[in-house]
Amino acid sequence: MKLTLPAFVGRIAFSALAALIGAAFALPLLWFLFAPFNARAELGLAVPDPWTLSNFVTVFGNSFAVQALWNSLIQSVGGVILVGAAATLAAYALSRSSLPGKGAVTYILLLFSSVVSGSAAMVPIFLIVSAAGLIDTHLAVILTFAGGLLPTAMFILRDFIDSIPKSYEESAMVAGASPVQAFFDVALPVIRPGIVVVVVWGFVNIWGSFLIPFILLRSDDQMPASVAIYSFYSEAGTPIVTLLAAYSLIYSLPVIALYLFVSWKFGFRFFGGIKA
């Protein structure tokens, strides 16, 4: 292809502008590339001399920090198991049964889930959880997130199941399978990629969340890493920067890994409500 001189200059200008914006987005994160590996890290940008893993050793020696990571894992895994199982069953029913009013159900669920956001509904959520006697338990966070994420998860999965031909299950049933067998043995393996997407999405949401565990949990041994990191830098007076830098990096790793996994496996398609 021939390029005229103005077009060539234009292309370079476009690339330069895109690179400049990319650099502006990178700036606040650059610090995280260096500080975790610097034993004398401060809030300023500095190349570690020498590079070291000693900050990570400190993190893993801090029982509160390790416990918080563990709590994040319990809450996220518990939440996605519930979301994944309940959403799969419900989405399958919405797609394959002829229950009256199932179109309206989807519409109303979507409406409610976008109206009842965590920051608008923190008071009733707190009251419901305390009425159930679940304040300061993992279960409180797990159930709250399961309820909140389910409408979107059901919506994503119903679309996915709708796109699978019914003939799969039909032929299984002609061969003598019961509807429930057709679901577990025929439909479920075909739906699995959709479930993986929903589970990854749910995990990232719960793992990164702050507000809900912040209001529902009280004691140190229940707190997830998000609340722990916040208390490290907001309440401690002078934050222990070295510990925080390494800890934040460890805490971010699962999210980064899952993002890479999804974009490698599925190509990063995203859905309307990927962030709750």
Residues 169 to 228: which contact other proteins by CB under 8 A? 169-170, 173-174, 176, 178-180, 182-183, 204, 207-211, 215, 225-227
- Select the residue interacting with other proteins from 36, 151, 194, 202 (CB under 8 A): 151
**Spatial contact of 245 and 41, defined as CB atoms under 8 Å apart:** yes
Interatomic CA distance for residues 171 and 125, integer angstroms: 45
The number of beta carbons lying within 10 Å of the beta carbon of residue 244 is: 20
* Of the candidate residues 40, 256, 261, 265, the single one contacting other proteins (CB under 8 A): 256
- Taking the complex as a whole, the smallest distance from the CB of residue 187 to other proteins amounts, in Å, to 9
Which residue shows structure tokens 């894992």? 73
Total residues belonging to the chain: 276
Query: CA-CA distance, 6 to 166, in Å (whole number)?
Result: 56
- Which residues touch 27 (CB under 8 Å, ≥6 apart)? none
The rounded distance, in Å, linking the Cα atoms of 135 and 129 is 6
The answer to the question of residue 64 lying near other proteins (CB under 8 A) is no
The reply to whether 253 sits near other proteins by the rule CB under 8 A is no
Supply φ then ψ for residue 117, to 5 degrees: -85, 160
Within 75-104, which residues bind other proteins (CB under 8 A)? 82, 85-87, 89-90, 92-94, 96-99
Beta-carbon contacts of 139 under 8 Å, excluding residues fewer than 6 positions away, are 78
Instruction: List all residues 6 or more positions away from 181 whose beta carbon is below 8 Å from its beta carbon.
Output: 172
Which of 116, 134, 164, 240: binder of other proteins (CB under 8 A)? 116
Q: Determine if 248 is a binding residue for other proteins (CB under 8 A).
A: yes
Q: In angstroms, what is the minimal distance from the CB of 87 to other proteins?
A: 6
- CB 119 to other proteins: min, Å: 4
- 195 vs 244 by CB, closer to other proteins: 244
The footprint of other proteins on this chain (CB under 8 A) covers a number of residues equal to 105
Residue of 69, 143, 191, 198 that binds other proteins (CB under 8 A): 143
Residue with tokens 């330069």: 16
Among the listed ranges 49-57, 59-67, 189-197, 265-273, the one in contact with other proteins (CB under 8 A) is 265-273
Residue 163 CB, shortest distance to other proteins, in Å, is 15
